[in-house]
Structures are given as structure tokens and as C-alpha cells.
Amino acid sequence: MSTDDKNRAIAAAILPLVGGAGNITSVAHCMTRLRLGLRDRSLVQDEALKALPSVMGVVEDDTYQIVLGPGTVARVTPEFEALVAEGAAAAPVHTADDLAAQGAAIKAAQKAKNATPFKLFLRKIANIFVPLIPSLIGCGIIAGLNGLLINLGWLPGVTPALAAIASGFMALIAVFVGYNTAKEFGGTAILGGAVAAIIVYAGVAKIEVFGQALSPGQGGVLGALGAAVLAVYVEKWCRRWVPESLDVLVTPTLTVLISGLVTIFGLMFVAGEVSQAIGDFANWLLENAGAGAGFLLGGLFLPLVMLGLHQALIPIHTTLIEQQGYTVLLPILAMAGAGQVGAAMAVYLKLPRNGSIRRTIKSALPAGFLGVGEPLIYGVSLPLGRPFITACVGGAFGGGFIGLFNMLGDKVGSTAIGPSGWALFPLLDGNKGLGETIAIYAGGLLVGYLVGFVATYFWGFSRELIEEFDVDTEAVAPPEPVAAGGPTAGTAGTPEPVKV
């Protein structure tokens, strides 16, 4: 079977288990999950989905999320969208009653979602920055390669070109943020980009605000975000009041003019001060309380992810990368995944007779080492309960290790967001040599692995938990399909993954 056929087969297997094409209201994906909007949640067959070999787990948030893993999800999503489109074309809506029924189902599903206004706002912010991650990763790796070539004195004729390639995106990132912001908040995307472009225009250096000359890029991504949101509200106001015959001329002109003036004479200055404060606070925190701050950040990151609050960190990471060239927070937060890996290895040894769970761990560990923790979280530690907590302890000690070196003056940062675990090595940067930075990060991973393993092995299991799970599953029931990296199928008494 070709790769395209395989991806279409995965999509075809998933579609009927989520209620068919008629039950899908939206399709999107992030780095690891297929995110679906559903008309009727009751039509989803959770257990059958989890039993598919390609499905690592499911998560219910403001959308129904099916964990497929990095790479796979990006290839399956277009196939899934095509199948949904084919199904919709085969069964079109004909009557007003049908439309009314669909509207009622959508309203009921929306009401049933466990989403607060604050969480929905954070989701919007995340949707602005997540599409930028591939460019951040690509440019970050090129920047790291260029730095290595410069330090070695190799290819001096090529390094300026690599510098331009690596820096071009970051020089204009405010424009992309503005574009995505306007799109996410319901405005015309290109108008958001046009207003945000003012921030990086070199000519703003000739303008004085509050007695100070502006600097190109002042305010950065936060200024671009604020400018684009303002542009959306101005545009919507214009759409309401400007006559249709003049709309095409007046609305874009007023949107750019009003938002641009406010951006130049207010937002750039204010956002610049806020951005500077974020950078200063991050540096102060790690320089003065690095070990303690790292311990808390590394230990609490996974609970923040489950609550959806980690999305608030995305603009902070991006601001730090824009200001300093790297974010010092991401390597610390990456230690949470190291704790999960250590805990999973301990679970493997503590349950020698449970072949089903051990197979799940063996299949999920490679992804865990590369920073993809969902298979281990939703397939191993979280369903078991206490091992999830001891895994967080491992992450806390790993974060504290890196934070300690920040206190000692050795900053460890990442030039991009998204990757974690071993996948973060090509993106590492800091204020010392690359070798020293890599060594500190590797040391943090080892501490996270070790403490996660020890804490789980000695304190992660009660006697009752051992008795319940350390059983020969092959002797209890015939083998059933196991969702790779997902909850163990066919294991008597295995609890469901916690839905967040």
C-alpha cells in the first residue's frame, strides 16, 4: 500500500467512528492531533477509535482531538477533509428543517463544551502563533548551523547568505502575526498584516513619541497582535456604518489609517515597554531564583498543558526569541517530557507480567525521547494515576537543574518553539559556547529521566495498583488491537484516559 493510500485508509477508518461526514463541522490539526468540531458528540465511538492502530489516544477539549502523532497527522488531515467533503456532497442539506436541526445540534454541542471565556481567548492566541512554528524551527536550525560554521571558520562565503535566510522571517514576524491575528478575530487578514507591517518599517525611526524616537520593530509581536486586533474592530465598525457603494474604498482606508495612527503613537511604545518587561523579568527570575523557578516550571508544565493554560506561554516564548534570539523558558519546560520517559521506564519494570502495557511503552518510548509525550501521558502515566505525579517530579528536578545553571550565568535557550526532548538539540543556543549549552541541556534530560524513574519505581505504585495491573493479560483474554501509544486495550480494569 502506498503512503497516500495508507493515510486515506486511516482517515476512512476514523470518519465513521466520529459520526460520519454529516457530524463534522470543522477540521484542523496541530503538531500531533486531528481536531474536529462535532455536531453531535454522542455519535462518537470512543472505544472503537482508541482501538485503531494509528490512534494514540483521544482528548476532549473545545474540539474533539484524536492523537495521531507528528508527521502522520499532517498527512491524514487532507485525506480526512477530502472524505468529509465527498460525504457532504453526497448528502446535501435540502430543507429548512434540516438546517434548523443542524443549527440546534451545533448549539447543543457548543453549550456542552467545557470551555471558559479565558480558555477560549487563550485558544485564539495559540491559533495565531502555532502556524508560525514550522518557520521558527526551520530558520532556527539554519541559524544554529550558521553559528557553528562561523565558529569553525568554515565556508565564509556562504555564512552571510545563511544569516540572511535564517533572519529574514524573524525580521518580518510581526507582519505574519498581524495577518494571523486579523484572520483569527474575524477581520480581513491582509489588513491586519498591513497595519502590523508599520512596526517593522524602517521609516518609523524618524517619528518621535513621548519625546523618544521610535525604533523599527519596537513592540514586536505583542504590538503587532494589538494593532491587528484594533484593525479588526475598526473594520467591523466600518462595515456597519459605511454605505455598500463606498465600502470597498472607505473601509480598508479607514482601517489602516486609524489603526496605523494608534499603533505609531501609542501601541508601539506601550507594547515595547511590555515586551522589555517580559524579557527583563524572565532574565531576573532565572538569574536570582533559577533553581526554584525551574523546579516549579518543569514540575507544573504538564498540568498546565492539561488545563490548556500553557497556550499563554506561546507569545512569551516568541517575544523572548524576537528580543534575545532564544527563549530561556522552553528548555526548562522540556524537562516535563523527560520525567514522563523516566516514569514510563519504571512502569515497564514494575509490571513485568502485563505484556499489553509493556508493548505500549516500548512503542511510545522512541517518540517520548524525541519530545512527543502524549502517547506516554495518555497511554501510560495518566491512566495509572500516581505515576503521572511522579513523572512531574522528574520534570521538576530536570527543570531545577537547568535553572540552577541559569543562576550561575550559563543561559540555555531555544531559537524556536515546538520541538522538545532530543529534537531540541539542533535549536539550542545560549550565552556561552554551544558545547557547554548542549551539555547542560543533556544533563537536565538525564536528571529528569533518573528522578522520574526513581520516584515512580519506589513511590509510583500502591500495593493495590500492582495487584490490579501486574497480571498476565494474555492469559486473561485474547489479544485485542492496541492503540499505539494510547490506552491499553483488552487490559482488565484499565481506566480510561482523563479527558481534559
What is the spatial distance between Cα 100 and Cα 475, in angstroms, rounded to a whole number? 52
The three cell numbers locating residue 205: 525611526
Q: Give the three-class secondary structure for 34.
A: strand
Strands, E assignment, 14-99: 24-29, 33-38, 57-60, 64-67
Q: Which residues are catalytic?
A: 30
Q: State how far the Cα of 406 lies from the Cα of 123, in Å rounded to an integer.
A: 31
Residues 6+ apart with CB under 8 A from 28: 35, 63, 77
Q: Which residue has the cell 523618544?
A: 212
Give the CA count within 13 Å in the CB-facing half-sphere of 434. 15
Query: Rounded CA gap, 244 and 253, in Å?
Result: 14
Alpha-carbon span 458 to 454, nearest angstrom? 6
Centroid of chain to Cα 431: 26
**Cell numbers at residue 471, please?**
497480571
Nearest residue to 402 (alpha-carbon basis) of 338, 455, 317, 453: 338
User: Coil, helix or strand for 63?
Assistant: coil
Distances (CA, A) of 196 to 186, 206, 279: 16, 18, 21
**Distance, CA of 323 to CA of 278 (rounded, Å):** 10
Other CB atoms closer than 10 Å to residue 112's CB: what's the count? 11
Helix, coil or strand: residue 83:
helix
Burial class (CB in 10 A: 0-12, 13-18, 19+), 41: middle
CA quadruple 188, 189, 191, 193: dihedral, nearest 10: 170
